[in-house]
Amino acid sequence: MGSFRRDPLIEGLLRPKTMASLALAEWDRLLPRARVAELLPRLAIAAQREGIFDRLPEPVAKHLTTGLALAGAQRRVAEWELHCLERELAPLGAPVMLLKGAAYVAARLPMAEGRLFGDVDIMVPEANLERAQSILLDAGWLFEESEEYDRRYYLRWMHELPPLRHSGRGSVLDVHHAILPRTSRLKPESARLWAQARPLAGSSFVVPCPADMLLHSAAHLFQDGDMDLMLRDLLDIHDMAELFGKEPEFWPELISRAEELDLARPLFYAMRYRERILGAGPPTAVATRLGGKGPGRLARAVMDRAVPPVLLPPTHDQGRLRRPAALFLYVRSHWLRMPPLLLASHLARKSLRRLRMAEPEGE
């Protein structure tokens, strides 16, 4: 754990005072890593709260200020998008749940501050999915995926519609009916999420209960293919654990919900690497109970070698070490999402498509 805590990016996030003593050469290595991980705004906020922002080198302060301005602009766009979606989906006559960043913003949780947004994630009951799609298409949303295979892939096997982009506003929307694919080895029942969803004051939207919000983030962290944002997602989990964990009943409820939703393994890994990289573990009794939910020693050892190099944005000289670890986690995430034959067919199609796109025109 100690070597990770000495990483300048981790140190800056957890102990912001350390940023005041960094030389420009160190910032030259840190800033690109923070930008790739979408953590520049978070560094800026940490420096402001610690009262050291004015002590940072001027070029550094400019980068952090730009990141903070971008985060503020994206949050305003997200808030407006939620306002528009609430109006557009009113005819659905069914509940709509906000997920991930959209839920953090609407519920005004600390994780929303300084967070960058790529899209808005919502969930509707599967019985209302076709109706929701029709309403959204009538409201100016268009499918981004143009190939028939991609459409069929989403509709038959995934937990969401193909991504939608609004023809006027340019926003991207993911419409889920579950939090993991139909073919996933882990199968959290959506009905259980709906049963514990929490209403938002002054809104028709609902959000997952605190335990489910953290569990969804943990499942996303270890079953998604976006390696660059793993540290950001781990920090989301850390923030939720810090915030929700102040309530004594949260931790036993979290374990019970993880078992109920078939998400004990992702929770085990989330807490394991939160402790190893960020130095913050759950209460001892919870850690003991979670230990029984983890894999065998060999699987733990393999994950312990693969996860940290990918979670931590690489320095220039660490890129070669990261590639095989990232490939392993990428394949693992797909292995958990699809049965072997479907996975092989899907990856083969994607590889052939990349080869066709790489061919020079005219050949």
Cβ–Cβ < 8 Å for 106, 203: yes
CA proximity to 94, closest of 49, 125, 136, 63? 125
CA proximity to 109, closest of 117, 118, 100? 100
Tokens 């060999």 found at: 298
**Helix/strand/coil (H/E/C) assignment for every residue in 262-313:** CCHHHHHHHHHHHHHHHCCCCCHHHHHHHHCCCCCHHHHHHHHHHHHHHHCC
314-333: pLDDT as tens digits: 765 555 678 888 888 888 88
pTM equals 0.89
211-261: pLDDT as tens digits: 999 999 999 998 775 778 899 999 999 999 999 999 989 999 999 999 999
Cβ–Cβ < 8 Å for 162, 150: yes
Between helix 40-50 and helix 24-36 the angle, nearest 10°, is 130
CA proximity to 44, closest of 67, 76, 11? 67
Q: Would you state the pLDDT for residue 314? A: 73
Stretches where the chain sits below pLDDT 50 are 1-3, 363
Cβ–Cβ < 8 Å for 340, 238: no
Q: Would you state the pLDDT for residue 309? A: 87
Cβ–Cβ < 8 Å for 137, 129: no
Q: Would you state the pLDDT for residue 196? A: 97
Quote the CA–CA distance of 120 and 107 in Å, as a whole number: 14
CA proximity to 307, closest of 211, 258, 234? 234
